[in-house]
Amino acid sequence: MMTNHYRIAILPGDGIGQEVMPEGIRVIQAASKKTGSFEIDFETFAWGSDYYLENGRMMPVDALSILSDFDAIYFGAIGLPGRIPDHVTLWEFILPIRQGFDQYINYRPTKLLPGMKSPLRDKGPEDIDFVVIRENTEGEYSGAGGRAHLHTAQEVAIQTSIFTRAGTERVMRYSLELARRRRKKVTSATKSNACQYSMVFWDEVFEELRQQYPDVQTEKWHVDALAARFVTRPETLDVVVASNLFGDILSDLGGAIQGSLGMLPSGNLNPEKRYPSLFEPVHGSAPDIMGKGLANPIATIWAGALMLDFLGETEAAGLVVNGIAQTVAQGRTLTPDIGGSASTRQVGQAICDQIE
């Protein structure tokens, strides 16, 4: 059997990111040992808030050049609220990687696992199983705008969204192709009744593209009504495609109805693999529980499964997801956020045991 070799850059980041990342690595190593089909060399970079406090920036000037040599990036969490403003964290760490490596697809699956209890009273695992595909490099998070007349009565702030035809088409096409491999339905999140330029344009592009996929059922919903539908009728969703801001909000709501943000993984993808893609949990650095060993590592471990699948190691990815599902279904080794009393490390070990 041929053994594939990968180089993975590890960015544990801040807070609980440094606690959940070792479990993600441990589970990937268990899957590697079980399948024998691949080996991974991990290299860790201590960038993030501590680096910022010492150097005045979140990562080195040549960070993207360093990361570009890796097959993928595995990321924990970032942020030090109270000491570093959140917008500094976002614009000096996360967005430079997403935009610099053209990771234009943000892939966030929402799936309620057997054994998990959703806060939605009457919904079970058969009702909550969809994917939010978020445009990840432009839209509302393009970074265009500015402020003038600072600290005066005339102060003004302008934040400009940028929607390009190329950027809009490619995220929609990805969603339509994904739906063909799932249940053949795409829901487009819009707000064209209020955003008469950007979202009307979004709707027009979606209308053009959907004609090329007659086998895929398509629909568009205003984002506010769609948020309500996440709660009332999640079983009607398959693939949801949304702009950067709308996708960010909707996918977090998906994590909530899945039972915990500690369960929700994310992939920041460059589908063509011209640049490395980044895989991470959706949750933040959670400084209130850092150092206590209480953080749920499942989102990070699940993100590792997304990474393995993206690299082509489908058997290993399946083992990891099955290990998560079996651990959750048994209900004996769960962290407090999902009703258990186990530690971060105990959950990681339980998933490894399932794989082995």
Please enumerate in sequence order all residues whose Cβ is within 8 A of that of 204, keeping only pairs 6 or more positions apart, or say none: none
CB 59 within 8 A of CB 93: yes
Give the tokens for residue 316: 């290993």
Q: What is the pLDDT of residues 68-102, one digit of tens each?
A: 999 999 999 998 887 888 888 888 898 999 999 99
Considering the segment(s) 1-116+261-356 as one domain, its CATH architecture is 3-Layer(aba) Sandwich (3.40)
Cα 292 off chain centre by: 24
Do residues 203 and 226 make contact, with C-beta atoms less than 8 angstroms apart? no
Least confident range from 35-44, 83-92, 144-153: namely: 83-92
Closest CA relative to residue 303, chosen from 46, 106, 171, 112: 106
Do 34 and 308 contact (CB within 8 A), yes or no?
no
Bigger pLDDT: 83 or 16? 16
Give the pLDDT confidence score for residue 88 in this predicted structure: 86
At 18, give phi and psi (nearest 5°). Answer: -75, -15
CA distances from 65 to 46, 62, 76, 96, 275 (A): 16, 5, 20, 12, 11
Instruction: Identify the DSSP state of 7.
Output: E
Q: What is the pLDDT of residue 138?
A: 96
Backbone angles phi, psi at 21, to 5 degrees: -60, -45
CB atoms within 10 A of CB 60: 13
Which pLDDT value is given to residue 256?
93
Nearest-Å Rg of the Cα atoms of the chain is 20
What is the predicted pLDDT for the residue at 236? 98
What are the structural domain ranges in the chain? 1-116+261-356, 125-257
- What average pLDDT does range 140-149 have in this prediction? 93
What is the pLDDT, as a whole number, of residue 82?
A: 79
From CA 63, how far away is CA 47, in angstroms rounded? Answer: 9
E-only strand ranges, the chain: 4-13, 38-44, 72-77, 105-111, 129-135, 139-148, 156-162, 185-190, 217-222, 239-242, 265-269, 277-281
Instruction: Indicate the SS3 state at residue 31.
Output: helix
Tell me the CB-side half-sphere exposure of residue 191, using CA atoms within 13 A.
14
pLDDT band at 1 (very low <50, low <70, confident <90, very high): low
Domains 1-116+261-356 and 125-257 share a fold: yes
Give the model's confidence band at 320: pLDDT under 50 very low, under 70 low, under 90 confident, else very high: very high
The token pair that represents 137 in the structure block = 């490099």
Beta bridge partners of 259: none
Q: Are 141 and 307 in contact (CB under 8 A)?
A: no
Write down the CATH superfamily of domain 125-257. Answer: Isopropylmalate Dehydrogenase (3.40.718.10)
Query: pLDDT tens digits for 185-235?
Result: 999 999 999 999 999 999 999 999 999 999 999 999 999 999 999 999 999
User: How far, in Å, CA of 127 to CA of 218, rounded?
Assistant: 19
Q: How many helices (H) and strands (E) does the chain have?
A: 12, 12
Residue 324 has pLDDT above 90, yes or no: yes
Distances (CA, A) of 85 to 75, 172, 176, 263: 20, 33, 37, 26
Q: Percent of the chain having pLDDT more than 70?
A: 99
Q: Given a cut of 80, is residue 2 above it in pLDDT? A: no
User: To which residue do tokens 């440094």 refer?
Assistant: 18
